[in-house]
């Protein structure tokens, strides 16, 4: 066994023991990516790590309140975190406890592929899986033109929408959508009902984190086409990227034709 000194996505030094045999993931999408690609490597994950459905590892609470003491007791070779999903204070607590932590940063589709490639090749020390390069090819096609003005709510009462500098926003652009609230300062701005529908010709309603349904959401967009989609396809940087573009394109096309 030997130590390898590396730098994570945020530029923080991480000393990792080779070979990596025990991993805790605090990022649901990356939990699936690791379990599918490196079965048996994970020893624990969060309560929110629901994919793959058959995942049978210890749970260490949530992404925002991980059980740091229990994680330390598990003696992982590496803990996987994400800048947006996990708290800086929890990362510091784990590092202060002597636990190697690899923090990812993913705000664009390209960053998803480059970050996951580094996660496998550098952090885990394994060959990046074939699904990763295949998914990258799927998303390499240019965006449809012209772009359609759209909104993607993530909550209601109050309405919160996808804004600037987000993975979902970049993914939406590649699907041919222009998010009308991307010029606001917040990444997930709160907007009024009037501003929600102003200037849009398509509303994309995901089923997470708010669960929009046929009876809860479309009524807020009178005479505007709405597409009910899987939030997993909009936010999940993992193996679902392999099919997400095809599925989302079909759903958006169907909504536009109604």
Low-confidence ranges of the chain (pLDDT < 50): none
**What pLDDT does 84 receive?**
93
Same domain, 128 and 180: no
Q: Tell me: do 120 and 194 sit in the same domain.
A: no
Burial class (CB in 10 A: 0-12, 13-18, 19+), 177: buried
CATH number of 153's domain: 3.40.50.1980
How far apart CA 51 and CA 144 sit, in angstroms, is 31
pLDDT of residue 1: 64
CA 210, 55, 35, 242 torsion-angle sign:
negative
Query: Measuring CA to CA, which residue among 54, 60, 1, 70 is closest to residue 25?
Result: 60
- Cα distance between residue 226 and residue 127, in whole Å: 41
Q: Examine the domain organization and report whether 117 and 29 are in the same domain.
A: yes
Residues 7 and 126 grouped into a single domain = yes
Q: Tell me if 198 is assigned to some domain.
A: yes
Each residue's pLDDT tens digit, 149-175:
999 999 999 999 999 999 999 999 999
Same domain, yes or no, for 12 and 126? yes
Distances, alpha carbon 235 to alpha carbons 26, 77, 162, in Å: 16, 27, 11
The angle subtended at Cα 178 by Cα 174 and Cα 179, nearest 5°, is 115
Q: What is the DSSP letter of 100?
A: -
The confidence score (pLDDT) of residue 256 equals: 78
Q: Exposure string (b/e) for 7-37, b if CB count within 10 Å is 16 or more?
A: ebbeeeebebeeebeebbbbbbbbbbbbbeb
Residue 160 maps to a domain: yes
d(CA 152, CA 231): 10
| pLDDT 10s digits, 97-118 | 999 999 999 999 999 999 999 9
Residue 84 lies in a domain: yes
Q: Does pTM top 0.85 for this prediction?
A: yes
Contact at 8 Å (CB) between 24 and 44?
A: yes
- Residues 123 and 165 grouped into a single domain: no
What's the CA angle centered on 86, arms 81 and 88, to 5 degrees?
100
SS3 65: coil
- How many domains, the chain? 2
Asked whether residue 142 is assigned to any structural domain, the reply reads: no
Residue 143 lies in a domain: no
Tell me: do 93 and 196 sit in the same domain: no
Q: Give Cβ neighbours of residue 88 (< 8 Å, ≥ 6 apart).
A: none
* Cβ contact 9:83 at 8 Å: yes
The confidence score (pLDDT) of residue 3 equals 87
Question: What phi and psi values does residue 53 have, to the nearest 5 degrees?
Answer: -60, -30
Strands 23-25 and 42-45: parallel
125 and 22 share one domain: yes
Range(s) of the domain holding residue 105: 2-137
Backbone φ and ψ for 135, nearest 5 degrees, come out as -65, -40
pLDDT of residue 258: 64
Q: Indicate the burial class of 220 (C-beta count within 10 angstroms; 0-12, 13-18, 19 or more).
A: middle
Whether 179 maps to a domain, the answer reads: yes
Tell me the angle at which helices 130-138 and 109-118 cross, rounded to the nearest 10 degrees.
170
């Amino acid at each position: 066994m030997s130590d390898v000194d590396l730098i994570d996505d945020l530029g923080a030094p991480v000393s990792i023991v080779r070979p990596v045999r025990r991993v805790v993931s605090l990022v649901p999408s990356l939990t699936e990516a690791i379990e599918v690609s490196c079965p048996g490597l994970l020893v624990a994950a969060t309560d929110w790590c629901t994919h793959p459905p058959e995942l049978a590892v210890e749970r260490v609470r949530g992404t925002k309140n991980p059980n740091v003491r229990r994680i330390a007791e598990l003696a992982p070779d590496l803990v996987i975190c994400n800048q947006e999903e996990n708290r800086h204070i929890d990362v510091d607590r784990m590092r202060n406890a002597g636990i190697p932590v690899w923090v990812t940063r993913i705000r664009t589709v390209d960053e998803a592929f480059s970050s996951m490639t580094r996660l496998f090749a550098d952090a885990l020390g394994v060959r990046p899986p074939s699904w990763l390069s295949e998914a990258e090819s799927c998303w390499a096609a240019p965006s449809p033109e012209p772009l359609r003005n759209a909104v993607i709510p993530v909550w209601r009462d109050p309405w919160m929408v996808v804004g600037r500098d987000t993975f979902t926003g970049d993914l939406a652009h590649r699907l041919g959508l222009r998010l009308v609230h991307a010029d606001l300062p917040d990444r997930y701005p709160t907007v009024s009902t009037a501003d929600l529908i102003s200037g849009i010709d398509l509303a994309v309603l995901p089923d997470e984190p708010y669960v929009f349904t046929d009876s809860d959401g479309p009524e807020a967009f009178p005479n505007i086409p709405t597409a009910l989609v899987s939030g997993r396809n909009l936010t999940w940087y993992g193996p679902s990227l392999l099919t997400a573009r095809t599925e989302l394109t079909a759903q958006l096309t169907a909504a536009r034709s109604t």
